[in-house]
Amino acid sequence: MVKIGNTFSKYGKKAVLCGSGELGKEVAIELERYGVEVVALDKYADAPAMHIAQKSHVLSMLDGEALRKVILEEKPDYIIPEVEAIATPELIKLEKEGFNVIPTANATFLTMNREGIRRLAAEELGLPTSKYEFAQTEDEFKAAVGRIGCPCVVKPVMSSSGHGQSVVHDETEIDKAWKISQEGGRAGGGKVIVEGFVKFDYEITLLTVRHSGGTAFLEPVGHHQVDGDYRESWQPQYMTPTAKAQAQDIAKKITDALGGYGIFGVEMFVRGDEVIFSEVSPRPHDTGMVTMISQDLSEFGLHARAILGLPIPEVRFFGPSASKAIVVEGDTDSYEFENLEKVVEEPGVQIRLFGKPEIRGHRRVGVILATDESVEKALAKAERAYSKLSVKVD
């Protein structure tokens, strides 16, 4: 029996969000719909989820001692990692002490580190993956590139959203790729994965929900990335029945191995009927922001529902939809969106502005959502809306 008391009472529920960006903000909103108290953590003040959380703390979540101090102070019913850069060994200790880490502390530990999840997928579960090697030093890295061959993809084992990622097209780019990997990792320099380049027709995120009633798969999400960072996504991505069944089988195997309740973003490459596992995130996925307009329950609503132990008997898909990230370049703590009335003048267009406190370099600060009769029309509509938006950066 699931019970939730009134907020702030002895029967109330409390969740600590480890990561308070735009994805964490949507999770916080969905949890608060159920009366759950939300405490938002991030490494900087005024992060998006902090705007609507009842309480917040600023700390480096890679600092295990600081993270433990906050958890012991707040005594949450749920610890919800929303970013990769967390002291996962501390989460494992906290879970052993009785705290509920979503989906599990081990899942967070394995997926924060590309080595852990790749070895689980390829070596333990036997899932199809690209060729890969890990390298700790520059010499090991150069040797790994030599064995894998060019072109190849280089990623820090601890990173996300394309940070530290690059493609080595030929041997002249090896030194540059190593430098990028060491400067862009979420936890600083260190081990990298060198992956053989996969020739694919398209790539997908298969959002998979483990909940009290079983496992549910959403319509496949196609997406376009720039240097490993999401720029636009659409739903549904057409797949052959054979490929779709294979993708669901892969997603079921990897999420069952990770365990717990919540939404998982399973990334895969598709070539005809062949599906190749790439990565998995045990939390809402940025490409899944399209579900805020495509479904009756977004990936964030599904995550909240699963976390609370509630079943998900149905996910109602409305129709072809698209999202386009609003990415801005600059160095400022003051910026302004203009022409918003033009952005949303077409039917079937929505916009979300994240409220991030500053821009340093390039940063995703919002997303445009669109629906139409087909994916192609939805993407074109999102692009038209984006072209009307102006962002003034001081």
Q: Which two tokens stand for residue 34?
A: 């159920």
Active site residue 97: no
Q: What is the mean pLDDT of residues 83-94?
A: 92
pLDDT of residue 85: 83
Confidence of residue 165 (pLDDT cuts 50, 70, 90): confident
pTM of the model: 0.92
State what percent of residues in the chain have pLDDT above 70. 97
Catalytic residue among 90, 279, 299, 372: 279
Tokens of 329: 């370049």
pLDDT category of residue 159 using cuts at 50, 70 and 90: low
pLDDT at 162 over 70: no
Cα torsion for 330, 335, 339, 342, to the nearest 10°?
70
Instruction: Answer yes or no: is pLDDT of 153 > 60.
Output: yes
What would the pLDDT profile of 310-366 be if each residue is shown by its tens digit? 999 999 999 999 999 999 999 999 999 999 999 999 999 999 999 999 999 989 999
Give the pairing type, strands 229-235 and 221-226: antiparallel
Nearest 5°: phi and psi at 263? -95, 145
Q: Is the pLDDT of residue 111 over 90?
A: no
Catalytic residue selected from 37, 90, 286, 372: 286
pLDDT at 285: 96
Mean pLDDT of 288-296: 98
- Spatial strand order of the sheet with 14-18 comes to 55-58, 37-42, 14-18, 78-81
Tell me which of 196 and 370 has the higher pLDDT: 370
Confidence of residue 78 (pLDDT cuts 50, 70, 90): very high
- Is the pLDDT at 291 greater than 60? The verdict is yes
Q: Which of 42-56, 95-109, 165-179, 207-221 has the lowest mean pLDDT?
A: 165-179
Q: How confident is the model at residue 116 (pLDDT cuts 50, 70, 90)?
A: confident
281 as an active site residue: the answer is no
Q: Which residue is catalytic, options 130, 166, 287, 294?
A: 287
Q: Identify the pLDDT of residue 190.
A: 81
Catalytic residue among 26, 262, 364, 372: 364
Of the residues 162, 190, 319, 355, only one is catalytic, namely: 162
Question: How far is the C-alpha of 307 from the C-alpha of 392, rounded, in Å?
Answer: 39
Catalytic residue at 321?
A: no
One of 108, 130, 160, 181 is an active-site residue; which one? 160
The verdict on whether 267 is a catalytic residue reads yes
Q: Provide the pLDDT confidence category of residue 232 given band limits of 50, 70 and 90.
A: very high
What is the band of 195 on the pLDDT scale with cuts at 50, 70, 90?
Answer: very high
Instruction: Check 203, 267, 299, 372 and give the catalytic one.
Output: 267
Alpha carbon distance 213, 366 (integer Å) = 34
Residue 228 predicted with pLDDT over 80: no
187 has pLDDT over 60 = no
User: What pLDDT was estimated at residue 158?
Assistant: 77
Mark whether 160 is an active-site residue. Answer: yes
For the chain, what is the mean pLDDT?
94
Across residues 221-227, what is the average pLDDT?
89
Q: How confident is the model at residue 197 (pLDDT cuts 50, 70, 90)?
A: confident
